[in-house]
Amino acid sequence: MGRRLKIAISGKSGCGNTTVSRLVAERLGIKMINYTFKSIAQERGMDFKELCRLAESDTSWDLYLDKRQVEMANDVEECVLGSRLAVWLLENADLKVYLTAPIEVRAARIQQRDKGRLESVLQETLARDRSDHERYLKLYGLDNNRYEFVDLIVNTEHLSPHEVAQIIIRAAEQLRIHDEK
């Protein structure tokens, strides 16, 4: 069986975090944790964009979200935690992965998923990136543009979610093999 793994996957909106995290968890047969502002909005019957606006001025939303994600990950032996801050907050992760893609690619993916005009989605994505960056600096002193400490960085621009997942799975399998030696 080998090592029990906790994998943290992060990246900005549109990089494929949710899809890739789901694929990795499914293929490895481990629990996926992807608890986000969208999850909170659904649980509380709130509009997602309104919750994001509230979070800009009320840090309790971020603190709750981040604390809950780490609790959920620590409640299980193995998991994939996919979130904006997973690689920073899940300190006991065995494999930390950061997904990247150019802003235009990310916006096009979001537009394809959520519909709307591409230019509007691009502006909203840029605004969300700025807002997230400012909040993370204020809350944790954390610069989410600095991720060179992770174990694996994957540029998803020209890769399918399945190809990205396979890269991560290979890295996870290498950890397990290394532990068995």
Q: Each residue of 20-38: pLDDT tens digit?
A: 999 999 999 999 998 888 8
Average predicted confidence (pLDDT) for the chain: 92
Residue 179 has pLDDT above 70, yes or no: no
Q: Which pLDDT score, from 0 to 100, does residue 175 have?
A: 84
Separation of alpha carbons 58 and 138, rounded Å? 11
Q: Which pLDDT score, from 0 to 100, does residue 52 have?
A: 87
The domain limits of the chain are 6-180
Q: 166's torsion region: left (phi>0), alpha (psi -120 to 50) or beta?
A: alpha
User: For residue 105, how many C-alpha atoms fall within 13 Å in the half-sphere facing its CB?
Assistant: 13
Q: Which pLDDT score, from 0 to 100, does residue 91 have?
A: 94
pTM (two decimals): 0.89
Superfamily of domain 6-180: P-loop containing nucleotide triphosphate hydrolases (3.40.50.300)
